[in-house]
Amino acid sequence: MHELITKYFYGEITAKEKKQLFSAMETDAELKKEFLSVQNLCALTSWIPAEKDESVAVGKLLEFKQARKEKSFAIPYKHILGYVATICVAVFSTWMISNRINRFVVEEPVIMYEEFTTPPGQRALVKLHDGTTVWLNARSTLRYPNRFEKNERKVELDGEAFFEVERNEKAPFVVSTEKANIEVLGTKFNVFAYKEHDEFNTSLVEGSVKVYQGDSDSNALTISPHECVFLSNGKLVKSYFDNSDFMLWKEGVYAFDDASFSDIIKKLELYYDVTIVQKNKQLDRYRFSGKFRQRDGVESVLQILQKVYSFSFVKDEDRNCITIR
DSSP letters, 45-90, are HTTS--SSHHHHHHHHHHHHHHHHHHH-S-S-HHHHHHHHHHHHHH
Q: Which has more pLDDT, 76 or 298?
A: 298
- Separation CA 142–CA 158 (nearest Å): 7
For position 83, what pLDDT does the model report? 46
- Separation CA 176–CA 200 (nearest Å): 12
DSSP 8-state secondary structure symbol assigned to residue 103: T
- At residue 204, the 3 state secondary structure works out as strand
For position 109, what pLDDT does the model report? 64
For position 3, what pLDDT does the model report? 78
Other residues' Cβ atoms within 10 Å of the Cβ of residue 35: 23
- Separation CA 24–CA 1 (nearest Å): 8
The per-residue pLDDT of the chain, averaged, comes to 80
* pLDDT, average across residues 173-189: 94
**Maximum CA pair distance of the chain?**
112
Task: From 197, 274, 277, select the one nearest 231 (Cα to Cα).
Answer: 197
For position 91, what pLDDT does the model report? 44
Do residues 311 and 138 lie in contact, with contact meaning Cβ atoms separated by under 8 Å? no
Output the CA–CA distances (angstroms, integers) from residue 12 to 5, 7, 177, 231, 251, in the order listed: 10, 5, 36, 48, 52
Do residues 46 and 106 lie in contact, with contact meaning Cβ atoms separated by under 8 Å? yes
Structural domains of the chain, with CATH: 2-101 (no CATH), 113-245 (2.60.120.1440), 252-324 (3.55.50.30)
- Separation CA 135–CA 13 (nearest Å): 40
**Residue 88 clears pLDDT 80, i.e. is over it:** no
**What digits encode the pLDDT tens for the residues 243-263?**
899 999 999 999 999 999 999
**What digits encode the pLDDT tens for the residues 27-85?**
777 777 776 666 656 544 444 444 444 445 445 544 544 555 454 444 444 444 444 44
Q: Which has more pLDDT, 39 or 97?
A: 39
For position 53, what pLDDT does the model report? 47
